[in-house]
Structure 1
Amino acid sequence: MPNTLDALSKFLEREKLPETYRAQARDSFIPFIEAIRPKLAAAGRVPVLGIHGSQGSGKSTLAEFIHWYLQEQGGLNVALLSLDDFYLSLAERQQLAAKRHPLLRTRGVPGTHDISLALETIATLRHIGAGERASLPRFDKACDDRAPESSWPQISGPVDLIVFEGWCVGATPQDEADLKLPINELERSEDSDAQWRTYVNSCLAAEYQDLFAELDYLLMLRAPDFNCVAAWRSEQEQKLAQRLAGNVQASALMDEAAILRFIQHYQRITTHCLNTLPKRADCVMALGTQREILNVAYREGS
């Protein structure tokens, strides 16, 4: 442990994380990783560790930490995937919006991902052997489009673990009756007939369940409530703006009004997950408003 915590300084520096992350890693993340390693090893196939967390919850950073810890400290070959990296291209979403509903131009909700590519990528990672390589798809959020395939990172086989994170990973569809009433201004003004949310829910009920069936273990980072998620998402965009200051790619970034509209696309499923996923996840880390970990609870038998 001492050597690991010393090496952690490099990870904190690389990810530009506060010193408080060291305590989170020591007290919560490393014990979690060590607790589930035997369960992942017993999966009978290259395991997929799913990480669910609302926007701004720190799920991507945690996925990076697990990747670093198991690869650099544990000697495992870990593939890191994000649901975000499987978004349909901008052109594909424009076509979908014209065909189905204008709101589908905005990336994020079920129906705006290439699930076939995600399943194909997981299958490839599970089967590549020594001397073989696989590409890991990437999406450029600043440009709101899929990154050129030539720029995708590659991983050599064999792979020991796949970490798969995303804002709706593990989500289940709502009952049809729950879709009738709008829950925010976006749904009231731009989806008054419920066509958009019905389509999104139908996608979540179909191919997304096929994708989530590939998970061997599911960790949930549970936010306090949706208001907190909205604040985190705004903070996230501000940090991205600072990072891209003066960059031509910053043209795709959002102002405060755009952010408020943007997050309403995800309110329905985020709230549904906050209400339902804690009962289904193998492990739930309850977060405070500053993303501090208040409690770690394992499902019985997990």
Structure 2
Amino acid sequence: MARAPHPPADGFDPAFVADVLDDALGHRGPGHGVRVYAIAGLQGSGKSTLAAQLAALARARGLRCASLSIDDFYLGRGQRRRLARRVHPLLATRGPPGTHDVALACDTLDALCAGRSARLPRFDKLADTRLPPSRWRDSGRVDLVLFEGWLLKTPPQDATALAAPINALERDEDADGRWRRWCNRALADAYPPLWSRLDRLLFLQPPGFEVVPQWRWQQECRLQASRPHHRGMTRPQLERFVQFYERVSRQALRTLPGLAERTVPLDARRRPLPA
């Protein structure tokens, strides 16, 4: 009997990880020797777990590897609060388009792809702010860059699709649509330069958005267990938090299977399904 793939909490099956790494190494980025292999997937889908396994296997093969997440480039809490005062109160919450330092992400990837060392930003999710630069790790020169994130290469929606709210958060706290229109414009205008730096995209495709709250709660429980002295989100807080991501997540589900170079469907336990 074939061995079932491991769920992401315990790591993906080693054969699957090796196959993905071969995919990453088999496609050289245009104009430079350093590949940027991107992993997209909705919240809790196992992106970070897969990236960590890929990085470990790459190093075991003698490659120098840097692993980054778009989450590392969130604007700090103070920056988001200023944005919330200037544009819309919902922008105080990290995650949606417009709450990332896209220029810093581009600069970091450019340095790595040019064969230079770079300082790798890190975001502390429990403290809800980016770590100070003095705590960023120096990458050294690398052969491969892994870049994971929930909204990678997701295109903006048509303006007509923004008219009706899709959840209670939008209905009650963005009744006029100002927040979602601003995020959609950011997705259209600010992010394409970053997407252009991603050489190849793997999409971990969940069975639907409905699994995301449970997956994200499992992720939150593991995060809190690793740092028991820091207070994380309660379940009701997390249910609200996931609604900030719902619109773009559903757009990713609709569009990324046609945009990603490789799509891997997952079952409800986050196990890759047979091709």
TM-score interval w.r.t. the shorter chain? over 0.9
Q: How is 1:1-302 mapped onto 2 (pairs within 5 angstroms)?
A: 18=10, 21=11, 24-26=13-15, 28-40=16-28, 43-45=30-32, 46-72=34-60, 74-129=61-116, 133-157=117-141, 159-245=142-228, 247=229, 250-251=230-231, 253-296=232-275
Deviation at 1:25, TM superposition (A): 2.1
Note the aligned Cα RMSD (angstroms). 1.6
Question: What amino acid sits opposite 1:122 in the alignment?
Answer: L
Tell me, in whole angstroms, the C-alpha distance in 2 between the residues paired with 1:217 and 1:275.
Answer: 19
Q: Deviations over 1:214-271 (max 9, x none)?
A: 11100000011111011101111112222222x1xx23x1111100100000000111
Q: TM-score, normalised by structure 2?
A: 0.93
Maintained 8 Å contact 1:138/1:152: yes
Q: Please name the residue that 1:3 is paired with.
A: none
Q: Deviations over 1:142-172 (max 9, x none)?
A: 1000101111111112x21111100101111
Q: TM-score, normalised by structure 1?
A: 0.85
Tell me, in whole angstroms, the C-alpha distance in 2 between the residues paired with 1:213 and 1:181.
Answer: 31
Q: Which has the higher helix share?
A: 1
Question: Residues 32, 128 of structure 1: CA spacing in aligned structure 2 closer, same or farther, 3 A cutoff?
Answer: closer
Tell me, in whole angstroms, the C-alpha distance in 1 between the residues paired with 2:118 and 2:75.
Answer: 20
Count matched residues: 268
Maintained 8 Å contact 1:52/1:221: yes
Tell me, in whole angstroms, the C-alpha distance in 1 between the residues paired with 2:182 and 2:107.
Answer: 23
Maintained 8 Å contact 2:24/2:37: no
Question: What amino acid sits opposite 2:146 in the alignment?
Answer: V
Match of 2:246, SS state, is helix
Tell me, in whole angstroms, the C-alpha distance in 2 between the residues paired with 1:243 and 1:31.
Answer: 30
Maintained 8 Å contact 1:222/1:285: yes
Tell me, in whole angstroms, the C-alpha distance in 1 between the residues paired with 2:258 and 2:237.
Answer: 33
Maintained 8 Å contact 2:37/2:146: yes
Q: Please name the residue that 1:7 is paired with.
A: none
Which 4+ residue blocks in structure 1 deviate beyond 6 angstroms?
none
Deviation at 1:195, TM superposition (A): 0.4
Tell me, in whole angstroms, the C-alpha distance in 2 between the residues paired with 1:71 and 1:43.
Answer: 23
Higher relative contact order (CA 8 A, sep 6+): 2
Higher CA-based Rg = 1
Maintained 8 Å contact 2:155/2:188: yes
Question: Residues 35, 91 of structure 1: CA spacing in aligned structure 2 closer, same or farther, 3 A cutoff?
Answer: closer
Maintained 8 Å contact 1:287/1:295: no
Instruction: Give aligned-pair identity as a percent.
Output: 41
Question: What amino acid sits opposite 1:143 in the alignment?
Answer: A
Deviation at 1:17, TM superposition (A): 5.1
Deviation at 1:38, TM superposition (A): 2.2
Deviation at 1:35, TM superposition (A): 3.5
Deviation at 1:63, TM superposition (A): 0.7
5+ residue gaps, structure 2: 1-5
